[in-house]
């Protein structure tokens, strides 16, 4: 038994013992008062007690019963009734022990669970050990389970992130080493080797930049917000996308009515989020395909729909594509780092917006990303 049990037990038992003794003393005192009143009344002579009643005429029997009689006197006082008091103390002792155990048991489980978490075991749960309790201690246990589940998920995500980062860094580093080795063996191919080294350096720089952006967003680092004109923002993004898609003859179909449409956000991050989604659609569109960007206002929000004609993803992967470094089974070997949509989700969430993915209707191939932003 822990210290908390004995504290509960002591205070509960003392309280119950005081209640038992107080109640017993009250009834004992009342009894004494009652017996004293009875004894006082017995000392008073009955009416005509000094006179004997004459026998009836013709009565020849004994006349002793006609004399005044006084019942034996009872004296006030008496011993305290120990048996009820002892029974009450024993009952209070058992009740206090039961209550102390009832309150201390879940707290003892919580203490053990916190010790396990401190030692690195995030799989510990205490909800089942609470039994059928429906009180604040049970709520505390379930809150503890939710906390450890969240910590376990965050630690798992961190481990996966470190694994994915090391994997992504390993490939360009390996190519850099190969380019350097080739340069040493064939100095005459200096230009080709330098181009390869420069390309891999830019790739690593881009990966680090994406990681830093994602890390800042996940950490909740505050960034300045301002009114962003959506017409100007989207025009610049579409122009860049058309230039990038021209090489593969991918057309950008831009349908929008964004006159006087203002969103409160960080312009750089919002530009990057929407651009990531459109570039992702360009990357997986077939040669000669079309990426459609449709923008419409719906009440106090603006809806952006970006749809491509690529191979799409499985329905089970619609949520997973927003996880860092996730590329999908079909795009596992494609270009990119798998961070664009993850960054877009963090940016959209920071402005109280929503982003989701769905398959195109009517059985058409491709993926559609919907972005909803609050606007003025």
Highest mean pLDDT among 125-129, 203-207, 300-304: 300-304
Per-residue DSSP letter, 274: H
pLDDT band at 136 (very low <50, low <70, confident <90, very high): confident
Question: Which pair of structure tokens corresponds to residue 117?
Answer: 């978490």
Q: Could you report how far apart the first and last alpha carbons of the chain are, in Å?
A: 62
Give CA separation, 187 vs 48, 176, 195, 197, in Å: 148, 15, 14, 14
Tokens read off for 195:
């181009």
Instruction: Give tens-digit pLDDT for 214-242.
Output: 888 877 777 889 999 998 899 999 999 99
Q: What percent of the chain has pLDDT over 90?
A: 19
Look up the pTM and report it. 0.58
What does the pLDDT look like over 250-301, one tens digit per residue? 999 998 876 788 999 999 999 999 999 999 899 888 999 999 999 998 889 9
Exposure of 143 in the CB half-sphere (CA atoms within 13 A): 6
Cβ neighbours for 103, distance < 8 A, ≥ 6 positions apart = 4, 8, 137
Q: pLDDT tens-digit profile of 149-193?
A: 888 887 887 777 777 777 777 777 888 888 888 888 888 888 888
Catalytic residues: 167
């Amino acid at each position: 038994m822990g210290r908390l049990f004995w504290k509960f037990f002591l205070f509960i038992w003392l309280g119950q013992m005081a209640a038992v003794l107080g109640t017993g003393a009250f009834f004992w005192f009342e009894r004494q008062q009652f017996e004293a009143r009875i004894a006082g009344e017995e000392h008073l002579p009955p009416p005509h007690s000094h006179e004997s009643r004459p026998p009836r005429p013709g009565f020849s029997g004994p006349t002793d019963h006609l004399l005044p009689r006084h019942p034996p006197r009872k004296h006030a006082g008496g011993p305290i009734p120990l048996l009820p008091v002892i029974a009450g103390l024993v009952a209070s002792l058992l009740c206090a022990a039961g209550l102390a155990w009832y309150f201390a048991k879940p707290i003892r489980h919580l203490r053990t669970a916190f010790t396990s978490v401190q030692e690195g075991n995030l799989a510990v749960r205490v909800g089942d050990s609470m039994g059928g309790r429906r009180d604040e201690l049970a709520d505390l246990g379930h809150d503890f389970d939710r906390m450890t589940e969240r910590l376990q998920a965050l630690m798992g995500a961190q481990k996966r992130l470190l694994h994915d980062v090391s994997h992504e860094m390993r490939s360009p580093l390996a190519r850099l080493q190969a380019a350097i080795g080739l340069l040493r063996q064939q100095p005459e191919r200096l230009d080709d080797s330098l181009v390869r080294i420069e390309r891999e350096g830019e790739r690593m720089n881009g990966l680090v930049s994406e990681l830093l952006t994602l890390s800042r967003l996940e950490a909740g680092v505050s960034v300045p917000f301002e009114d962003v004109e959506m017409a100007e923002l989207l025009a610049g993004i579409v122009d860049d996308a058309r230039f990038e898609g021209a090489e593969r003859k991918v057309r950008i179909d831009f349908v929008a009515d964004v006159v006087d449409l203002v969103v409160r956000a960080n312009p750089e991050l919002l530009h990057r989020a929407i651009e990531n989604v459109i570039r992702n659609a360009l990357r997986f569109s077939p040669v000669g395909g079309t990426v459609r960007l449709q923008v419409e206002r719906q009440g106090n929000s603006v809806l952006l729909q970006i749809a491509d004609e690529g191979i799409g993803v499985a329905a089970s992967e619609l949520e997973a594509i927003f996880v860092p470094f996730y590329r999908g089974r079909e795009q596992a070997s494609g270009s990119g780092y798998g961070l664009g949509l993850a960054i877009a989700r963090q940016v959209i969430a920071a402005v109280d917006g929503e982003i989701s993915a769905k398959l195109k209707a009517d059985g058409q191939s491709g993926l559609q990303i919907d972005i909803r932003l609050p606007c003025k």
